[in-house]
Structure 1
């Protein structure tokens, strides 16, 4: 080391000291060092452009491929209707939504796609006659394009709508345009095949001319999205006269998809039946006690040939009073009990014959058409 000089270590210390002094002279705001990074700049995405309503031909070309025409052969004749393709079911099947009254009593049900005109056998997955809805499966139809469903709660009075379906059962999809006139309506519908009646609630009323055969088809908005399931044309509201003006009704798609979820999850209920339909082999009506006028059982008005009921000796005029240990006071009591059962289930019956004698028997339910 040279006299009067600085070692290398001393030079480093001096440099660090100088640096420290330099740092010490940097003024600090409010006596603290703010190390918070500057706020990130928000990226504002541009709003999507408003959707443009479809022209009539565009709407038809978008919706028609997503529907099927339905034909159900029953003991009383043939019923025609429409179904909506919901989505694939597994690797090879398609799920279809329709009205229960379209397939009610169907011993043979077929579907013809409006996408490729192919015909498919129909399996009934489940249904609820009180809501007039049924879920079907089409084996081999997974490739059919599904319908687009409208967002929840998107229907308002005054909205323009179009009903599309197998009008008059001709096998050619036709459109009926109109607008929403009311929401949340209750009506009583009549099945034109057997004249049975059903009370439906929370319906969409439209002034489109929905015709027989349109049942089960889509009611769509101006974007071709399904807002409802066409269910009745010119139905009658309780306590009112039938109007000659076009007045039709659709089940909101939200209500319909609720039933689909119940069926696919296996949640049977007093009104929801899942799987093949059991057959007792009788047609019944309310039986009223002659003296009191009150309902006192389910009176047999028809017995099916070679059905389970015929096999144990039930005949026209007998009155069923107990079913599997449960008292039967009306025809609807018997119907409700049957909803929970399936083909192959054993049941015990008690009835009163024409002479007033109580009788009983056990039988096994067969498979029958959806009811």
Structure 2
């Protein structure tokens, strides 16, 4: 026991010595840190004051240098003709209030045609959603039955020194007061809205409006160019007043041409056949609407109209109405009637037809007629459903857009020579152009019918993936059918599903063979072979005004 005592004492001494050393090191570090902080605070200010900067040279601002920048030269040239447009909608009493979903585009149940009906209300809501005003205000909504004034903001450009200005219809739509601020006007405070303006004319189909302000002095103008000359990849500038920031310029390129932006209907038809846009990645934001899109020649090739966005801001996908369309509409709006008159031959057609349908009916390009309006030019000239219009005045027609553009631009009362195919034989007809608006003012879009038919297995389940049944008598009478079968179910992933042959559609023919009943349907289907083109002629049960539609594909 006595011999262990010194060892224990020695061990404790070593441990105590280690602890003492550690504490000493920590204390030294702490003192160093504190001293460093104190010294730094104490010395830094005095040291800076003591620095000699007598050898420092002052910065001098050089004389202005004009760089070889084409953008700035174009802005100087066209900027004075770009205006800011403010609108005010006064509160109105409303006895009925129909709820609407803002920004929603409802598919049009009508056929694509040279005269198809357009439901502009929801498209207008779409434009209002993105360009109507700041913070959700304005935008032409007329569903308010109380509250304060509603204000909206947009842009425009002067094309006539006497005060004629082009902008979007959705900028001035439903506005009670319109004010224009010129680029030369000072930025005033509240109450300094600008020059009062009046509407000369509007065209909802293209979302174009012409307004005018009174002026004592000639105003600076901007020149419209030929939008057909614009090429994908060309530089362009967008001018306007995004988010109330007037005189804003953004740069980009032409991203695409002939772009449709509205959702297609069930048959693939766009809601408005007269809205084919130039797409650009030049930043376009709320308030830019109605401003010009100019090329490197300083000419307007488009009018900023809409954007694709998920954030209410620019995501590099903007759309401008081509200047060639603007010029044509403007010339009609400033005319005595202040409205756009478009020609029509009184037909409807299916705009999107598969290659299988073209092979089956023996044509490469053209328009297959679905319905013919009684009393219109086409009907009087003898055109019938299933005729294929292939030429206008000897010129081949590429597609429905080509037909619409040609016919709508012709003068009402004029006669046009159409070439068409019927049962594979070439024929011609002289068709008188009518007024599209008048021809289709009273078209009935049809109403829904109860077509829930009893589902029974049939020969098409294996090959086509569908079941069918007889067309109910009331529905057949409503559609004027003497036969046919109605699709009662569609197997997901089947051939029918792939070509959009949906439940409820009525099959009236397969590969040019009439389907009169279930027996004839089964007989035709039984003869179909893998690798063969199969084309269905169908009718839509909820639209009696719509004629034949054609769906087809190659049977797997």
TM-score (norm 2): 0.35
Instruction: Please state if 1:94 is matched with 2:168.
Output: no
Instruction: Please state if 1:70 is matched with 2:144.
Output: no
Match of 1:223 among 282, 293, 297: 297
User: For residues 152 and 231 of structure 1, do their structure 2 counterparts lie closer, same or farther at Cα, with a shift above 3 Å needed?
Assistant: closer
Q: Aligned equivalents of 1:161 and 1:220: distance in 2?
A: 6
User: For residues 119 and 179 of structure 1, do their structure 2 counterparts lie closer, same or farther at Cα, with a shift above 3 Å needed?
Assistant: same
Q: Aligned equivalents of 1:151 and 1:142: distance in 2?
A: 28
User: For residues 64 and 243 of structure 1, do their structure 2 counterparts lie closer, same or farther at Cα, with a shift above 3 Å needed?
Assistant: closer
Match of 1:201 among 266, 271, 275: 275
The equivalent residue for 2:223 is: 148
Q: Aligned equivalents of 1:209 and 1:253: distance in 2?
A: 19
Deviations 1:274-309 (A, max 9, x none): xxxxxxxxxxxx999787699xxxxxxxxxxxxxxx
Instruction: Please state if 1:247 is matched with 2:317.
Output: yes
The equivalent residue for 1:39 is: none
User: For residues 234 and 291 of structure 1, do their structure 2 counterparts lie closer, same or farther at Cα, with a shift above 3 Å needed?
Assistant: closer
Q: Secondary structure at the match of 1:201?
A: coil
Q: Aligned equivalents of 2:227 and 2:216: distance in 1?
A: 27
The equivalent residue for 1:265 is: 335
Q: Aligned equivalents of 1:87 and 1:113: distance in 2?
A: 14
Q: Aligned equivalents of 1:202 and 1:250: distance in 2?
A: 9
Instruction: Please state if 1:134 is matched with 2:209.
Output: yes
User: For residues 244 and 261 of structure 1, do their structure 2 counterparts lie closer, same or farther at Cα, with a shift above 3 Å needed?
Assistant: closer
Q: How does 1:298-313 map to 2 (within 5 A)?
A: none
The equivalent residue for 2:61 is: none
Contact 2:286 2:313 in 1 (8 A): no
Contact 2:253 2:281 in 1 (8 A): yes
Contact 1:183 1:205 in 2 (8 A): yes
1:65 Cα deviation after fit = 0.4
User: For residues 161 and 141 of structure 1, do their structure 2 counterparts lie closer, same or farther at Cα, with a shift above 3 Å needed?
Assistant: farther
The equivalent residue for 1:112 is: 181
Q: Secondary structure at the match of 1:179?
A: strand
User: For residues 208 and 271 of structure 1, do their structure 2 counterparts lie closer, same or farther at Cα, with a shift above 3 Å needed?
Assistant: same
User: For residues 271 and 108 of structure 1, do their structure 2 counterparts lie closer, same or farther at Cα, with a shift above 3 Å needed?
Assistant: farther
Q: Aligned equivalents of 2:245 and 2:332: distance in 1?
A: 30
Deviations 1:145-196 (A, max 9, x none): 000222452211110101010111x15221111100111011129xxxxxxx
Q: Which moves more between the two structures, 68-77 or 100-109?
A: 68-77
Ranked by relative contact order (alpha carbons within 8 Å, sequence separation 6 or more), the top structure is 1
Match of 1:164 among 221, 235, 239: 239
Q: Aligned equivalents of 2:205 and 2:196: distance in 1?
A: 25
User: For residues 233 and 215 of structure 1, do their structure 2 counterparts lie closer, same or farther at Cα, with a shift above 3 Å needed?
Assistant: same
The equivalent residue for 2:526 is: none
Q: Which moves more between the two structures, 180-189 or 93-102?
A: 180-189
Of Structure 1 and Structure 2, which has the larger fraction of its residues in helix?
Answer: 2
Runs of 5+ in structure 2 lacking a partner? Answer: 1-67, 92-140, 142-149, 187-192, 264-270, 344-443, 452-474, 476-556
Runs of 5+ in structure 1 lacking a partner? Answer: 1-52, 190-196, 237-241, 273-285, 295-371
User: For residues 244 and 151 of structure 1, do their structure 2 counterparts lie closer, same or farther at Cα, with a shift above 3 Å needed?
Assistant: closer
1:265 Cα deviation after fit = 1.9
Q: Secondary structure at the match of 2:160?
A: strand
Q: Aligned equivalents of 2:288 and 2:323: distance in 1?
A: 16
The equivalent residue for 2:307 is: 233
Of Structure 1 and Structure 2, which has the larger fraction of its residues in strand?
Answer: 1
Q: How does 1:24-43 map to 2 (within 5 A)?
A: none
The equivalent residue for 1:124 is: 199
The equivalent residue for 2:70 is: 55
User: For residues 198 and 176 of structure 1, do their structure 2 counterparts lie closer, same or farther at Cα, with a shift above 3 Å needed?
Assistant: farther
- The size of the alignment, in residue pairs, is 214
Q: Secondary structure at the match of 1:211?
A: coil
Q: Aligned equivalents of 1:60 and 1:199: distance in 2?
A: 33
The equivalent residue for 1:81 is: 154
| RMSD between superposed Cα atoms in Å | 3.5
Match of 2:252 among 168, 175, 178: 178
In our comparison, the structure showing a higher alpha carbon Rg is: 2
User: For residues 292 and 70 of structure 1, do their structure 2 counterparts lie closer, same or farther at Cα, with a shift above 3 Å needed?
Assistant: farther
Q: Aligned equivalents of 1:163 and 1:225: distance in 2?
A: 11
Q: Secondary structure at the match of 1:82?
A: strand
Deviations 1:249-269 (A, max 9, x none): 001111001111111223535
Q: Aligned equivalents of 2:239 and 2:332: distance in 1?
A: 26
Contact 1:188 1:199 in 2 (8 A): no
The equivalent residue for 2:409 is: none
